[in-house]
A and B are shown apart, each in its own frame.
Chain A
Amino acid sequence: MGLEKALGDSFLLTKLDDAINWCRKNSLWPMPMGISCCAIEMMAFAGPRFDASRFGSEVFRFSPRQSDVMIVAGTTTYKMAKVVRKIYDQMPEPKWVIAMGACTSSGGIYRTYSVVQGIDQFLPVDVYVAGCPPRPDNLLNALILLQGKVQRGESKGTEPAYVGEPPAFARQRANV
């Protein structure tokens, strides 16, 4: 390996937390919470063209017990909210949430009685991705931002990151 060649007989010092976070951020296993059309872009994100495996995130797990980050991709209705929350609760700590797309972040075009106007009402969101749907590159961008948060040790309840316009602006514009 190249590392030994570069360091020779010397060694590296780091904090244990930093080392663990470095491991974590490079193997974020996503829980695909694909509820509607954003899920198609989420699949492209994991596929060979956009290739999330470059960032260690290609292993989509359909069991919440084996996942680190939940990608909520799609319109979340009030009925579905309970299911999303239950699956989130089943994920082991530490865990993160990406809100993908306009519907998930703010209700999007669905200003109606059946759709939750933003999943931050019942989940702690770490990264918001704007777009309808966002391109897979934007989701990759969100993943990179999330890796930054993981490296800094930021988890639930910290200031979220945004890809594109924050959903609060969209909600303000629509007076929701």
Chain B
Amino acid sequence: MKDTILTKLTSKFGEGSFVSSEFRNELTIVVPPDRINDVCRFLKEEPDLSFDFLADLCGIDMNTPEKRFGVIYNLFSLKNKYRIRLKVFVEEENPVVPTVTTVWGTANWHERETYDMFGIVFDGHPDLRRVYMPDNYEHHPLRKDFPLMGIPGSIPLPKK
């Protein structure tokens, strides 16, 4: 299955577009951000692959000067009983990733959560609002530079 995926991806998108690695029989593919939507659609709609289930989508803060933020897509193919993981990395100055809500509807709330916690903007998302934090909150709590106890006074409390 692993070879099928890699062969089909390279024949479709060309040699050298991806970096793939394998750890304990789990395939991980790093995709350039502008390609992610096409790759996801291809993986879902190609009959031999049919990764029809987006099991999870989450963000990561690598806390590095370059390619600080990442988005991780965990895909599952119900037909082939096979899982792969896609990764996308973006720069701190402009953390924008194209949305995959057009491919899997379930990505909607996952992307909202990732936006809420990391401040990664999903371009083309139909309703990119916060999920957990108050709507007018200015920070992104799961970033590595966010203090654990929060920023004092950033969320108002009712008067005693």
B134 at the interface (CB under 8 A from A): yes
B81 at the interface (CB under 8 A from A): no
Q: How far is the CA of A124 from the CA of B146 in the complex (A)?
A: 31
Number of A-B contacts (CB under 8 A): 36
- Residue of chain B at shortest CB distance from A124: B160
A79 to B133, CA, bound (A): 8
Q: What residues of B have a CB within 8 angstroms of the CB of A78 in the complex?
A: 134, 155, 157
Interface size on B, residues (CB 8 A): 15
Chain B, 58-84, CB within 8 A of any chain A CB: none
Q: Which residue of the partner chain B has the closest CB to A83? A: B158
Is A85 in contact with B150, judged by CB distance below 8 angstroms? Answer: no
Asked whether, in the complex, the Cβ of B148 is within 8 Å of the Cβ of A112, the reply is yes
Residue B147 lies at the interface, judged by CB distance under 8 Å to chain A = yes
- Give the shortest distance, in Å, between A126 (CB) and chain B (any CB): 14
With beta carbons under 8 angstroms apart, the residue of A114, A116, A124 that contacts B157 is A116
Whether A123 contacts B141 by the Cβ 8 Å rule is no
Q: Which of A78, A113, A123, A176 has most chain B Cβ within 10 Å? A: A113
Judging by beta carbons under 8 Å apart, are B134 and A79 in contact?
yes
Provide the residues of chain A in CB contact with B141, threshold 8 Å. Answer: 113-114
User: What's the least CB distance linking A90 to chain B, in Å?
Assistant: 13
CA of A116 to CA of B133 in the docked complex: distance in angstroms? 14
Output the residue of B134, B148, B158 with the most chain A CB within 10 A: B158
Q: Does A158 contact B (CB under 8 A)?
A: no
Output the residue of B133, B148, B149 with the most chain A CB within 10 A.
B149
Partner of A81, one of B147, B149, B151, B158: B158
Point out the residues of chain B lying under 8 angstroms from A82, CB to CB: 158
Q: How far is the CA of A122 from the CA of B156 in the complex (A)?
A: 10
Residues on A facing B (Cβ under 8 Å): 78-79, 81-82, 85-86, 111-114, 116, 121-124, 176
Q: Which residues of B contact A (CB under 8 A)?
A: 132-134, 141, 146-151, 155, 157-160
Known: A112-B149, A114-B132, A122-B160. 11 other contacts (CB 8 A): A78-B134, A78-B157, A79-B134, A81-B157, A86-B158, A111-B149, A113-B148, A113-B150, A114-B133, A114-B150, A124-B160
A/B interface sample: 18 pairs, CB < 8 A: A78-B134, A78-B155, A79-B134, A79-B155, A81-B157, A81-B158, A82-B158, A111-B148, A112-B148, A112-B149, A112-B150, A113-B146, A113-B148, A113-B150, A114-B133, A116-B157, A122-B160, A124-B160
